[in-house]
Amino acid sequence: MAKRRTQDRTAGLTRSASRMDYRIPALWDCWGYAGPCKRQGGEIVVNPLHYATACLEWIHAHSDPRVQSGGKSLSQTLAQPGARRTGRPGDWIRHQTLYAMMVRTTTAWDHDGDGQLIRRRGGARYQELGTFLKSILLLPLLEKMGITVLYLLPVVKVSNLYRKGELGCPYSAKDFLKLDAGQHDPLFGDRADSVDEEFAIFVECAHRLGMRVILDIAPRTAARDCDWILDHPEWFYWIDRRFEADWRSPQLPGVSYSQPIIGRLGEIYRTPVVRKHLAKFRFAPNITHPAEWKRFAARAKANPPDNLMAAIADRFGVVTPPGFSDVINDPQPPWSDVTYFRLYTDHHPEAAALLDNPDKQPPYVLFDTIKANLFPGRRPNRELWDRIASIIPHYQRFGIDGARVDMAHALPRELEAMILARPRQIDPDFAFIAEDLGYQAHARHRKAGYNLVLGPAYHVEARAEKGLMHRMLADLPKLSLPILGAAETPDTPRTAVRRGGRQFSRWAAVVNMFLPNAVPMINSGMEVYERQPMNLGLDVGRPGRFALSKSDPQYGKLAFFDPYALHWTNEGGEEMVELIARASAIRQKYLRFISRRAMYFAPELGMNAKRIIATGFSLPGRRKSLLMLANVDFDRSRRATVLRLRKPQEPQVLLELVSSGVPKLEKNRLMLTLGPGDVKVLLV
């Protein structure tokens, strides 16, 4: 049991590490900690070992008795012996509520109250960045909000070289087959295997509360000093070190399209700037200097250099190039901390025909090589493909339940199929999320084996007043896969800085619980009206990375690259948590109807139809309907009339954001007023 294993690990800690001097957000204690503590402001001060033990006891008391041990997915654990599985593999995700979290950030906190957020070094007692142990302490709050799936941003070992901030980015994978040691908590001691065991306990605790765990994997790129380089430098691209300082993607004058087009590569390859770009690449150092590389790699393994890439550059004159976008003439700078894997050992045939001497041209990165799904070579790098396809199965030993594969649609189709097939050989009910910011390819994603598409909700909901939400609602019931119902993601601006501010956060939290063919997700921090984005990847506008007051210690920091703690003590956080919990409870009560597309109907509105979105779900046997109506106008109230309801009954308001009078029923018409940014959920 997780509780016993944790107690065994913490029993030998020094007395100085167990004093009552550990500050945590008071919001985390939603379960009624009865041990000694001091409350001050929005924090409580506790003995960390006493608090952790009591939290584990709470989890144990609220555990599903069928979950007795870890190492298996929840589907495997709950499967009845001899029972036949029904439905598509992984489609359990259709009925869930997700919570996106980055371990390093979500449970980071200034535990000693000195005003600084530090990564534990030397003799520091506490790790103030997030850890797997502190993520366990957050589980009661997530359970209260009705969360059933924890979607974790990458947890693999990351590189600190070429970092864009104070810390390495979670997508800069130094070794995909190792957990990042920064997620270890010193409360567990300092054993070498500690972080593995802590992750295993975290997954088991989540399962005991009925929550599944999904990992984010980004196997198209790796850290520029990836540990795999020493054994396989030929898995990577290389450039002359002289070109590193001003490296960027070639800018192509006269090319107006954004993606390379089959049959038209000549328009790219014949430009002088691309010729100059190709001349910067070199063959891997084990090809040019095989004997010397063998000696170098052996020395580097025995005595790892502080900067592997600098050591390679000094000896062989080459470095791995920074990655860049596959969008032609994209203005964003190169990705300084990651580099692309070399997925084929030859050039794409169309590109090869455009090279002066294909045999003498070193492997290179260009817009077409990045899009290996459209421009594959003929000789796959099989050993690399096998390693990539083994990443997710490696973590299934911890009992994970699913994965999102970053940019999988740009991988070779065969490799994508391998990545999706292998986990299901271990767990036939493993779920996959497709990273597609649209939904036009929903049929293709379903055929490939995905269960959920990210989709455009983050973009559409922020522009609901422009009619985009109405269009998406018309499309959703027709899709063969559900999309993610989320107004913010780890890559987007926060809802609290969008038009409508905090009211939009509340609006989105409720609306996304009642969309047809959608799976709601709360992005970590939304529950406390977090303003600062984690990254600037999508839909960036004002205020961008400067969403906080200049006096805030977190001003300008991005969680993807810097130490960052969520504003867990924000005023209104408790109220927002309660709202999410209420909306989630209603969704759960009527989930068997909400999750069935056959039960959905689009309510007919008689007035203000462009300013109000509405969804409806028939409740057979109850002779009622569940309605959700939302005002997309955050400045003024709007009246609504729902027409032609079938045998309606006296309306019952289950939830509303703005009190605006009692809905009235006249024959088969429902009349009500929605306040600015209001959402109402009713039984009629």
Please tell me whether residues 466 and 392 are part of one structural domain.
yes
Please tell me whether residues 156 and 265 are part of one structural domain.
no
Q: In the structure, what pLDDT confidence band is assigned to residue 482 with cuts at 50, 70 and 90? A: very high
pLDDT given at position 80: 73
Each residue's pLDDT tens digit, 171-191: 999 999 999 999 999 888 877
Region 241-255: what's the mean pLDDT?
A: 94
CATH of the domain at 480: 3.20.20.80
User: Residue 150 half-sphere exposure, CB side, CA atoms within 13 Å?
Assistant: 32
pLDDT given at position 468: 95
Domain boundary residue, one of 356, 377, 398: 377
pLDDT given at position 118: 77
Domain boundary residue, one of 320, 352, 377: 377
Q: Is 93 among the domain residues? A: yes
Q: Is 592 among the domain residues? A: no
Q: In the structure, what pLDDT confidence band is assigned to residue 528 with cuts at 50, 70 and 90? A: very high
pLDDT given at position 12: 41
Please tell me whether residues 580 and 455 are part of one structural domain.
yes
Region 239-261: what's the mean pLDDT?
A: 94
Please tell me whether residues 578 and 627 are part of one structural domain.
no
For the chain, the domain total comes to 3
CATH of the domain at 653: 2.60.40.1180
pLDDT given at position 51: 96
Region 435-458: what's the mean pLDDT?
A: 96
Please tell me whether residues 52 and 151 are part of one structural domain.
yes
Q: Is 601 among the domain residues? A: yes
Please tell me whether residues 13 and 54 are part of one structural domain.
yes
pLDDT given at position 16: 44
Domain boundary residue, one of 587, 612, 646: 587
Please tell me whether residues 45 and 156 are part of one structural domain.
yes
Region 192-199: what's the mean pLDDT?
A: 87
Burial classification of residue 617, based on how many CB atoms lie within 10 Å of its CB (0-12 exposed, 13-18 middle, 19 or more buried): buried
Task: Indicate the average pLDDT of the chain.
Answer: 93
Q: Is 16 among the domain residues? A: yes
Q: Give first-to-last CA distance, the chain, whole Å.
A: 46
What is the spatial distance between Cα 324 and Cα 335, in angstroms, rounded to a whole number? 6
Is the model's pLDDT at 237 over the cut of 80? yes
Q: Is 37 among the domain residues? A: yes
Each residue's pLDDT tens digit, 374-395: 999 999 999 999 999 999 999 9
| Higher-pLDDT residue of 537, 312 | 312
Residue in 446, 444, 398, 482 with CA at minimum distance from that of residue 179:
398
Report the percentage of the chain scoring pLDDT > 70.
Answer: 95
Burial classification of residue 448, based on how many CB atoms lie within 10 Å of its CB (0-12 exposed, 13-18 middle, 19 or more buried): middle
pLDDT given at position 588: 97
- Spatial strand order in the sheet of 604-605: 604-605, 638-643, 669-674, 664-666
pLDDT given at position 8: 55
Please tell me whether residues 158 and 229 are part of one structural domain.
no
Please tell me whether residues 360 and 451 are part of one structural domain.
no
Is the model's pLDDT at 43 over the cut of 60? yes
Region 65-84: what's the mean pLDDT?
A: 85
Q: Is 117 among the domain residues? A: yes
Each residue's pLDDT tens digit, 575-622: 999 999 999 999 999 999 999 989 999 999 999 999 999 999 999 876
Please tell me whether residues 134 and 40 are part of one structural domain.
yes
pTM, 2 dp? 0.95
Q: In the structure, what pLDDT confidence band is assigned to residue 13 with cuts at 50, 70 and 90? A: very low
Q: Is 623 among the domain residues? A: yes
Please tell me whether residues 665 and 566 are part of one structural domain.
no
pLDDT given at position 15: 42
> In terms of residue numbers, what domain contains 613?
597-683
Report the percentage of the chain scoring pLDDT > 90.
Answer: 86
Q: What is the gyration radius of the CA atoms in the chain, in angstroms?
A: 26
Is the model's pLDDT at 2 over the cut of 60? no
Please tell me whether residues 528 and 390 are part of one structural domain.
yes
Our CA dihedral for 395, 399, 401, 406, rounded to 10 degrees, sits at -10
Contact criterion met (CB below 8 Å) for 221 and 159? no
Is the model's pLDDT at 214 over the cut of 50? yes
Each residue's pLDDT tens digit, 296-337: 999 999 999 999 999 999 999 999 999 999 999 998 889 999
Region 569-577: what's the mean pLDDT?
A: 97
Each residue's pLDDT tens digit, 108-144: 999 999 888 876 655 567 899 999 999 999 999 999 9
Q: Is 335 among the domain residues? A: yes
